[in-house]
Amino acid sequence: MKNNQKYSNLIKQEAKRLGFENCGISKADFLEEEAKNLEMWLKNGYHGNMQYMENYFDKRLDPRLLVDGAKSVISLSFNYFPEQIQNNDTYKIAKYAYGEDYHHVLKSKLKELTIFIQENIGEVNGRAFVDSAPVLERAWAQKSGLGWRGKHSLLIQKNKGSFFFLAELILDLELEYDTPFKTNHCGKCTRCVDACPTQAILLNNTVDGSKCISYFTIELKEEIPKSVKGKFEDWMFGCDICQDVCPWNRFSKPHYEEKFIPNPDLLTSMKKDWEEITETVFKRVFKKSAVKRTKFAGLQRNIKFLKN
């Protein structure tokens, strides 16, 4: 038991050194409460055309099916709140996509953390996850004591807000486990619910993903339906409305990660610049960005939908 505490402290210290804001640890177990929620969410079709959400149902709920002999889930948060944001009168991009693709940036940090664990603790097996596999990251973050899930379904940390990425390390190592975060500090506030222009945020702490602006501008591959015309408030890739209006984000502070600093053109480009963007400029401005996920044609489609 003494070693569990020692190892947990070692891991948390190294995570902090690598730039992670918070690190919490929970026992790798079946997420019983989440099973009903996920089943109902899929049954209601809130995943829209994201068919992949129907895959690996059991693996999403049990980390022991992802890593043999899994004993611990290490949840980490990494701040991405920018120092500068885009011009007011422009087509907008979600802040998480300002810099380099977070999948790659955080994956390399998790690799470093894994090597540190193996060198300082011993033969430990596991896998790193950054929003790229069937892991219910917000559930694990809450279970690990990092924060609570707001009405917009994103994890909120007291005095830090919600502008951070989540990542996980699932290990076959027993550690000291943190107390789950039980209190919801949203209270009666409904600012995110009221502000969502497509009414994607439901009052029962559920998000209808098929109505979310991020879904339409990133996930949806066909034409955007005319029924949501005029409701995007100039968001051409993703959306931050529910986070921007959240009172907890008044505590957000700029990140220190160089790789998340945006290309200057992203901050200064006006609507006309985006409307006239060429594929060459797209590749230069978004060289290593998550925006590449929508491809040049996808961004053009989104801009055309906003413009006309």
* Domain positions in the chain: 1-308
The DSSP line for 72-85 is EEEEEEEE---SS-
Q: Of 159, 39, 163, nearest to 99 (Cα)? A: 163
Taking residue 11's Cβ as centre, other Cβ atoms within 10 Å add up to 25
* 3-class SS of residue 130: coil
* Residue 31 pLDDT: 95
* Residue 21 pLDDT: 96
Q: How far apart are CA 170 and CA 21, in angstroms?
A: 18
Say if residues 152 and 239 touch (Cβ distance below 8 Å). Answer: no
Catalytic residue positions, numbered: 131
Q: Of 98, 240, 77, nearest to 160 (Cα)? A: 77
* Residue 1 pLDDT: 60
Q: How far apart are CA 69 and CA 300, in angstroms?
A: 46
Q: How far apart are CA 176 and CA 206, in angstroms?
A: 31
Q: Of 149, 144, 150, 153, nearest to 180 (Cα)? A: 144
Ordered per-residue pLDDT tens for the chain, 308 residues = 679 999 999 999 999 999 999 999 999 999 998 999 999 998 999 888 888 888 888 999 999 999 999 999 999 999 999 999 999 899 999 999 999 999 999 999 999 999 999 999 999 999 999 987 779 999 999 999 999 999 999 999 999 999 999 999 999 999 999 999 999 999 999 999 999 999 999 987 899 999 999 999 999 999 999 999 999 999 999 999 999 999 999 999 999 999 999 999 999 999 999 999 999 999 999 999 999 999 999 999 999 999 97
Beta-ladder partners of 78: 165
Tokens 């090597």, residue located: 115
Tokens of 74: 């290490």
pTM for this predicted structure: 0.95
The sign of the dihedral angle between the CA atoms of 272, 239, 258, 118 is negative
